[in-house]
Structure 1
Amino acid sequence: MSDKPQYHPALTVTNIKNFIPIVLETDKSQYTTWSELFKIHCRAYEVIDHIIPAEANSSQSATTDASTTQQQTPSWSRLDSIVLQWIYGTISPGLLTTVLVKDSTAATAWERLRTIF
């Protein structure tokens, strides 16, 4: 058995714009494309449950992982902050000021954007 620490795949993303090259803006009809790219990225990096709760996400199988059950552990909070940074990093400044609220979660920001579009 290895004593090497295991890192969550989401911690390896250094530049979200390499994966999601679209900047979501209010005046363009690109929400569907942006959201699909974002969901694919979140599935690939095992954080889809941060934007779509596990019970609503039928494409994910149930696991006992803390992030899937959305327990507010330090690890879950860190991953949620990373996903929130991904969202904020791929939207226009105008949308950012619209969806940015104190102590938000990725799911809250995701839902705010969905409501706008």
Structure 2
Amino acid sequence: MASDLTTLQPINHILHSVPIKLELETSQYNSWSELFRTYCKAHDVLAHLTSETIPVSSSSKAVEITQETWDRHDAIVLQWIYATLLTELLKTILEKDLTAKKAWDRLKILFHDNQHSRALALMNQFTNCKLDNYPNISAYCHMN
């Protein structure tokens, strides 16, 4: 279910495995979330992104975990989430007694709710872009 607390990596380690600092203005949520899920899966704490309580396992091989250990692991996963967000986005989701799952869900909703309006904004930007404003195709492809 969850790994031993001593095997969970410190915050600076996640920054090597999830090198994306998530922010509202970029469309990197899907990449960030996949890297983050993979990191949690590797450390056997993926359940913290899907549940706020200790999941009941039907497997006889499941390791029993105490509520205290679950809460510590959840705090570590939450710290990992916080460490991979830019300050502006962190301020948007930060709340007292937040669990890793609640933070994960807030981010998902925040980015998925914005998809339609962001797509319209990008389509508008693309539609209004004039090729004669660029000296060559390379400059056009590298526009901000």
Tell whether the structures are fold-level matches, with TM greater than 0.5.
yes
| Runs of 4+ deviating beyond 4 Å | none
1:90 has 2:88 as partner? no
> Hey, what's the Cα distance between the residues in 1 that align with 2:42 and 2:90?
24
Distance in 1 between residues matched to 2:93 and 2:64, nearest whole Å: 26
Instruction: Sort the Cα spacing of 1:62 and 1:94 in 2 relative to 1 into closer, same or farther, 3 A.
Output: farther
Partner of 1:79: 73
Structure 1: runs of 5 or more not aligned: 1-5, 55-60
Alignment partner of 1:12: what SS? coil
Q: How does 1:32-51 map to 2 (within 5 A)?
A: 32-51=30-49
The residue that corresponds to 1:57 in the other structure is none
Q: Identify which of 94, 97, 101 aligns with 1:107.
A: 101
**Structure 2: gaps of 5 or more residues:** 112-144
Shift of 1:52: 1.8
Give the helix-richer structure, 1 or 2.
2
> Does the 8 A contact of 1:10 with 1:46 survive in 2?
no
CA 1:77/1:92 → structure 2, altered by over 3 Å: closer, same or farther? same
Partner AA of 2:83 in structure 1: G
Alignment length (residue pairs) = 102
Q: Structure 1 length normalisation: TM-score? A: 0.77
Residue 8 of structure 2: aligned partner: 11
Deviation of 1:77 after TM superposition, in Å, equals 0.5
Q: How does 1:46-61 map to 2 (within 5 A)?
A: 46-53=44-51
Q: CA RMSD in A?
A: 2.3
Shift of 1:66: 4.5
State the distance in 2 between where 1:45 and 1:24 align. 21
Partner of 1:26: 24
TM-score scaled by structure 2? 0.63
Identity %: 43
Q: Measured at CA, do residues 113 and 91 of structure 1 come closer, stay the same or move farther in structure 2, by a change above 3 Å? A: same
Structure with larger RCO (C-alpha < 8 A, sep 6+): 1
